Amino acid sequence: MGADVFVDETTEVDLEEATLRLVAHDINNPLTAIRILAEMLRDDVDEAHRRDITDILEAADLASAVVGSVSEARYEKDDEYTWFPLDLVQLLRSVVDRPALRRHVTFETPRELQVGGDQTALRRAFTDLLVNGRRMVDGRRPLLVQVMDSSSHVEVRIDHPQPAVIPVAMRHLLFLRHGVVALRRNRIPVSAVGLVDAHAIIEGHGGTIRIEDSAEGGMSVVVRLQR
């Protein structure tokens, strides 16, 4: 008698998500090994090589952030979120504290700022926003994150210092599933996930994301969350 055959009755969407999670798992394992080995070596080399290892850690973490976003992406607008009070400034600092972003982001924020929301989802949204921004700067000038508060809403502004980072006519593609394909074909170095999931999460929290030109000639991504 032959071996039993497993029949998978899940939907195509479920299978796509499961496959992405498996791919992410298989990529994250070697990335974790790279990070651990690099951290072990960092303290045993001279200053010049230590900078090289820091670059390796940044690259591995940048890849890990993108893989994580792809595997966790959710495109439905009726996601259920777990709402708790949280400190938005602390959340943003925890995002920026990852190796891929530490040297490439500066803050102008209050000490703390209480909002309500799903901490895990919002952390993923701001990770996607800042990782995309990190890919589009030259490393000499950092992204600037400003947090502004009012009685009705909180605004997070991420300023990209380079001029004409994404042409105005193509900016909407960041929010479309598969829109990044056209952006990458035009040599615009956005991440593979774009801002689709970030947009869904912010909208799910009653907020908005918009892209506008900054006063310095670059591009700004502006997130507005209700208080």
Give the integer Cα–Cα distance in Å for 163 and 160. 8
One domain, residues 216 and 144: yes
Identify which of 226, 178, 182, 167 has the alpha carbon closest to the alpha carbon of residue 202: 226
Identify which of 84, 124, 127, 130 has the alpha carbon closest to the alpha carbon of residue 106: 130
pLDDT in tens for each of the 227 residues of the chain? 555 554 455 566 566 667 767 777 677 777 777 877 877 887 778 877 777 888 888 788 777 777 777 666 654 444 578 899 999 999 999 999 888 888 889 988 888 889 999 999 999 999 999 998 888 776 678 899 999 988 888 999 999 877 657 888 999 999 998 898 999 999 888 887 789 899 999 999 999 999 998 777 778 999 999 88
Task: Please report whether residue 107 resides in a domain.
Answer: yes
Q: Report whether 103 contacts 66 (CB < 8 A).
A: no
User: Tens digits of per-residue pLDDT, 108-147?
Assistant: 888 888 999 999 999 999 999 999 888 877 667 889 999 9
One domain, residues 22 and 93: no
Q: Global pTM?
A: 0.78
Quote the pLDDT of residue 38: 79
Count up the domains in the chain and report the number.
Answer: 2
**DSSP label at residue 77:** T
User: Tens digits of per-residue pLDDT, 33-47?
Assistant: 787 787 788 777 887
CATH of the domain at 156: 3.30.565.10
- Structure token digits, residue 122: 């919002």
Q: Give the rounded percent of residues in the chain with a pLDDT score beyond 70.
A: 84
One domain, residues 132 and 215: yes
Q: 10: Cβ–Cβ under 8 A, 6 or more apart, which residues? A: 18
One domain, residues 96 and 45: no
Identify which of 152, 61, 156 has the alpha carbon closest to the alpha carbon of residue 103: 61
Domain of 141?
A: 84-226
Which helix H or strand E contains 66, and what residues bound it?
helix 47-72
